[in-house]
Structure 1
Amino acid sequence: MLGLLWLQVLASCLWLGHSEVVNSFTSCPQFFYAGTPPNDALNPNNPAWICQRFRNSYHYATLYDRDRRIPVYSAYKYQPGNAKKPPEWWMVEPQLIDRKSLPDMERDWILVDQQIFTLDQIKDSQAIPADYKGLKGLDRGHLSPSGHQFSKESKMASFTLTNIVPQDSSLNNGKWNTYESKTMPKMTKDCKTTYVITGAVPGNTYVSQGRVNRPSHIWSAACCLGDEEPKDAWGAIAENDRNEVEVLSLGELEERLTELYSGTVTLFNNACPRQ
C-alpha cells in the first residue's frame, strides 16, 4: 500500500514538472521582479497560468483568460536584440486542451495534421488564427512584443495566440508602436534589468462571432533595476479605440487599473517606485 502511494506521489511530481500550463508561475518566476506576479485583482473567472515555452525554453509568462480567449497580461524581461525578424508562425497552446499534452506551443494545423487534436478541440480552448482573419480596423496586438525579445527563438515565441489581443490598428501602428520602439529604449537606457508586465482590460464587445473579447484598454508597466535594486518605474495606458498613449507613474497606472478592474491592483508587490 505504501509502495503504491509513493508511486502516485512520484508520478504527480513528474507530471507537475512537465506541465507548462499550471496553477501558478512557480515554473517561470524569473519573468517577475523578485519572482512575484501581480496580485489576484487581475485574475479572471477562468484563468490559465502559462509559462510560454518554445523549443525547450521558457521565454515569458502569460496569465490567460480562457472564457474571453485573450491574455490578461504577459510578463517578460526587456531584452531587445539584433536577431532577425522571425517568420510569423502563429501558434497555439496544446496544454490549454490537455494538461498532459505537448509542453511547447505549436501551430494549429500541425496539431490537426498529426491527429493530436481536432480543430474543434483547439477552438474550444483558445483563440485560433482564423479568429483574427478579416478583422477591420483591428490588428493582432502583442502583449510581449517580438521587438523586446533578444533571440530568434524568443521573438518566434511571441507569435502565439495566447499572447495577442484584438488591438486598434491605428494604435498598434501608431502611438503604441512609438511607446514600444522609441519610448522604452529611452527610459531603460540606464537600467541593467527591466521587468515588464503588459496587459489588456476586458471590454464589452467581441469579435469573430463572439469568440474573442476586444479589450477596452491596453496597458504596460516597467520596473527598472540599477545594480540589483529598483531605481525607477513607470506605466503606460491607452484606450483601445484611439491612437493616444498616456505615460504615467507606476502608482498612477495602478490607480487607473484599480478603477477599471474594480479591485486594488498591485503589479510589482510594492517593491518598485510608485511616483
Structure 2
Amino acid sequence: MLRHFLFAGLISTAAGFAYADGSAACGKLFLNSTPPNLVTAQGRTQQLCLNSYAVLSNTTLRAPHWSAERLTGDAVMSARQLARDSDFYEEPRLPPSGRAALADFARSGYDRGHLAPSGDFADKAGQAESFSLANVVPQDPASNRRLWSHIETATRRLARQHGVVYVVTGAVYGPAPLRLRDRVAVPRYLWKAIAIPNAGAAAYIARNDGKLLYSVVSIEELARFAGVDPFPALSRSARQTAIDLPPPTPHPGEKTGRLAPLGALTKAESAGEAEATRFQDSPATRFVMAVAALHF
C-alpha cells in the first residue's frame, strides 16, 4: 500500500511551471532561497508569491500542491492578538477554469482547510491573503478542527522556541482523487515539513479523515511518499534523518494524536476503505439507496 502512494498519482507532463506575481520575491520564504521541488505534475501548475507565503497551485486539480512560509516566533506571538475576521475568496491570479470556486465547497461536507494557516500571520494583510482558495484544500472537518489544528499549534511552538523555522505544507491526492462537484480534488493525506536552521528537519503526515493517527518522517521519506521535496537545499544527512518533532498539541479537553509508522498509517487507510466498500455493497445499504431514489 505504501508503494502505491509513492509520487501519489502524479503524472509527468511537459507543461512545467508558470510563475506569477514576482516569483523572485518568494526566495525569502524558502530555506536557503530554494523553492520546493515538485518531481512530476498532474497537469499545469502555477506558483503564486504573496507577501507572507508562496503557493504552488495545480490548475488541473484546482487545488494546491504546497504552501511555504518562513515562520517566526514574533509573528506567532503577534498573530495570537488578531481576531479571525477574513473571508474566503476565489484567487483572481489563477485562470477561472483552473481555480476553486466558493460554490465548490458549499454543502460538500468538507471544511475549507488552509495549508498555510491564518493563525501563522502577524497582520491583517497576511491573514487575509491566507483565505485565498489557492491556499485551501477540501479537508475532513474532524481533521481540520482536531488533529491538524493540533499539528499547526505544535509547529507554532517550535517557531517560538527556535525563533525562525521554515514550513512547507502540502497534500497528496492519489491517482484518481475524489472531486467536489467534479472539479476540486480532495487530498488523501496532508503533510507539514519543518526545517529548523542548524538543527535539521522532519515532517508530519496525517490522513485526511477523523482518525487521530499521524506519522513523523524524514524529508527523504516524505519526498518518496508525496512526490515533493520541500527543502532541496538540505544536506544529504539532514534529509535522511528526521529530527524529533513535538507531539500535536491538543486543545483543552481533546484527545491527543497517536504516533504511528507511515506503513501503519497507509495500512489503516486501506482497512477503512475496505470497510466502507463492504458497507456500500451490503444488501441493507442497496435497499436504503433504492428507497431514497424514489423520493428524488
Q: Which residue is 1:62 aligned to?
A: 55
Residue of structure 2 in register with 1:100 after alignment: none
Separation in 1, partners of 2:193, 2:151:
12
- Matched residues in 2 for 1:38 and 1:28: separation? 11
Alignment of 1:131 onto 2:104: yes
Looking at secondary structure, tell me which structure has more strand per residue. 1
Output the CA distance in 1 between the equivalents of 2:36 and 2:49: 15
Partner of residue 212 from structure 2, selected from 238, 244, 248: 244
How many residue pairs get aligned? The number is 215
Equivalent residue for 1:223, pick from 195, 212, 222: 195
Is the 2:34–2:233 Cα contact (8 Å) retained in structure 1?
no
What whole-Å deviation, never above 9, does each CA across 1:239-269 have from its counterpart, x for those lacking one?
A: 1124234242433xx31441343xxx43212
Q: Rate the CA distance shift 1:48–1:266 in 2: closer, same or farther, 3 A.
A: same
The CA deviation at 1:195 is 0.7
**Separation of aligned partners in 2, 1:130 and 1:154:** 24
Q: Does the CA contact (< 8 Å) of 1:236 and 1:245 recur in 2?
A: no
For structure 1, list consecutive stretches of 5 or more residues without a partner in the other structure. 1-19, 53-57, 98-121
> Which has the larger displacement, 83-92 or 172-181?
83-92
1:162 matched to 2:134: yes
1:170/1:242 contact within 8 Å kept: yes
Whichever residue aligns with residue 164 of structure 2, its letter is T
Offset of residue 212 of structure 1? 0.5
Contact persistence 2:22–2:49 (CA under 8 A): no
How far 1:270 moved relative to its partner?
4.3
Q: 1:186 to 1:28 in 2, by over 3 A?
A: closer
The residue correspondences of 1:40-119 to structure 2 (distance < 5 A) are 40-41=38-39, 43-52=41-50, 58-78=51-71, 79-80=75-76, 81-97=79-95
Distance 2:177 2:217 in 1: 29
1:149-188 equivalences in 2 (<5 Å): 149-181=121-153, 183-188=154-159
Matched-pair contact (CA < 8 Å) for 2:31–2:233: no
Aligned to 1:259: 225
Aligned partners of 1:159 and 1:134: how far apart in 2?
Answer: 19
Task: Calculate the aligned-residue CA RMSD, in Å.
Answer: 2.3
C-alpha spacing 1:42/1:171, structure 2 compared with 1 (3 Å): farther
Q: TM-score, normalised by structure 2?
A: 0.66
Match of 1:7 in 2: none
Structure 1 residues 246, 42: closer, same or farther in 2, change over 3 A?
A: farther
| Separation in structure 2 between the aligned mates of residue 245 and residue 146 of structure 1, nearest angstrom | 24
Q: How far apart are residue 43 of structure 1 and its match?
A: 3.9
